[in-house]
Structure 1
Amino acid sequence: MCRSIKTLRPPVTEQVGDDDIRAAALQYVRKVSGFHHPAAHNQAAFDEAVDAVTAATTQLLANLVIRGTGTRRSA
């Protein structure tokens, strides 16, 4: 869907920080909404969506079990 969002799980990307996760969430919300910079009357909804996608992505990455290691990613 959005080719500029990079894979954030090991072993593809070893060092993933909160900024990386938020940047991916922002790209996703921009793509889905069609807005790079939302108008003032849409800003709160846009920011809420970025926060929700960031939280969901953080949870997903924390709960993934990497094949061959049997361990979860440390968030």
Structure 2
Amino acid sequence: MCRSIKTLRPPFQEIVTEDDMHAAALQYVRKISGFRAPAAHNAEAFDRAVAAVTAATLELLDTLEVRR
């Protein structure tokens, strides 16, 4: 599932932008929901889910400790 989402933590990515996190979140929500673009009546829920996954991704990457 979501095999095309790239790993966003070091050493795979040294610099991760908010756009990178948003793109991964969007891809995840699209996969889970089965919608590439939701209908108007689902757009708000879809957008909230993307924002929540983006925030969770940021929190995860900020708290991961990568030992090299």
2:50 maps to amino acid: V
Larger RCO, structure (CA 8 Å, separation 6 or more): 2
User: Percent sequence identity over matched residues?
Assistant: 69
> In the alignment, what sits opposite 1:36?
36
Give structure 1 regions of 4+ aligned residues with deviation exceeding 3 angstroms: none
Residues 1-75 of structure 1 aligned to structure 2 (within 5 Å): 1-68=1-68
Could you say which structure has the higher helix fraction?
2
> In the alignment, what sits opposite 1:73?
none
Number of residue-to-residue matches in the alignment = 68
Query: For the aligned residues, what is the CA RMSD?
Result: 0.6
1:46 maps to amino acid: F
- The structure whose Rg is larger is 1
Taking the aligned partners of 2:3 and 2:21, their CA distance within structure 1 comes to: 15
TM superposition score normalised by structure 2: 0.97
What runs of 5+ residues in structure 2 fail to find an aligned partner? none
1:4 Cα deviation from its structure 2 partner: 1.2
TM superposition score normalised by structure 1: 0.88
What runs of 5+ residues in structure 1 fail to find an aligned partner? 69-75
Taking the aligned partners of 1:25 and 1:54, their CA distance within structure 2 comes to: 5
